Amino acid sequence: MTSRKVSLRSWQKPDYKKKNMTKSPNGNTYPAPEKLSFPLEEKRHEWLPWLIDVYYTTDLGVQEGIRREEMKGRKLACHKGCSSCCRTHTTIPVYPIELTGLYWYVIEKTTGSIRSTIKQQCTDHQAGQPCPFLVDGGCGIHPMRPQACRHFNVFSIPCEEGEDAYYSRRQDVLTPISKYKEEALSKMLPFHKIKGRTKRREAIKTGLVHQYVHVLQEIDWPKLAVRMV
């Protein structure tokens, strides 16, 4: 289990369409969250609509958190092509439903050179090494990147190579808004057979939800590579 509370970025999507970007007061742009949609697969996999909801709630919270900071005059440092955090961080928390989504996405949805690069990086991955899904400076599994990656945003200046801003300058790291974070965590709970508003609220309050967490860099990724036929 990891002690890290948050990790990694929201900017590594190759291209955001202009119409989906919101302009901040200081000129930065942040992509307006779009709910993922996989109509056929959502019918086949009970967990997928839950996960889509988790990520949509998370993204809305990140957007609102960044908006609030920018209204105070802060400038988001994360930008397209900036990805040293993906190489630096070694304890990214990932929950079982996120791992399920990640496995599914990699096996069924990746194609071409991104797929072959991910396959090779998973094959070569050893526990504790950086995330194997960084491809050409961008996230190769962007729609299915974990909440921790979505949450991690840094203000002021971009991270230096090897810098983990969470420890070097915590004040520059976005603090997720509790309301959105807890709602997103709550939406994961049906995956663990915890249903009903009262039970889910209790699981969040007691921290039960965190007993399920893994560390992304400790997962046996070569096993995933084997399934990528």
Residues lying near ligand SF4 in the complex (CB under 6 A) are found at 8-9, 11-12, 77-78, 82-86, 92, 131, 133-134, 139, 141, 145, 149, 152, 154, 158-159, 165
- CB of 148 or CB of 209, closer to ligand SF4: 148
- CB of 50 or CB of 166, closer to ligand SF4: 166
DSSP calls for 112-151: HHHHHHHHHHHHH--TTSPPTTEETTEETTGGG--HHHHH
- Per DSSP, helices labelled H in the chain are 39-44, 47-71, 84-88, 96-109, 112-124, 147-151, 165-168, 178-188, 197-205, 221-227
d(CA 209, CA 31): 29
In the complex, least distance from residue 5 CB atom to ligand SF4, rounded to whole angstroms = 15
- CB of 7 or CB of 186, closer to ligand SF4: 7
- CB of 41 or CB of 172, closer to ligand SF4: 172
The answer to whether 149 and 8 have CB atoms below 8 angstroms apart is yes
In the complex, least distance from residue 153 CB atom to ligand SF4, rounded to whole angstroms = 6
- CB of 205 or CB of 223, closer to ligand SF4: 223
- How does DSSP classify residue 93? E
Supply 184's token pair. Answer: 């997103």
d(CA 24, CA 76): 9
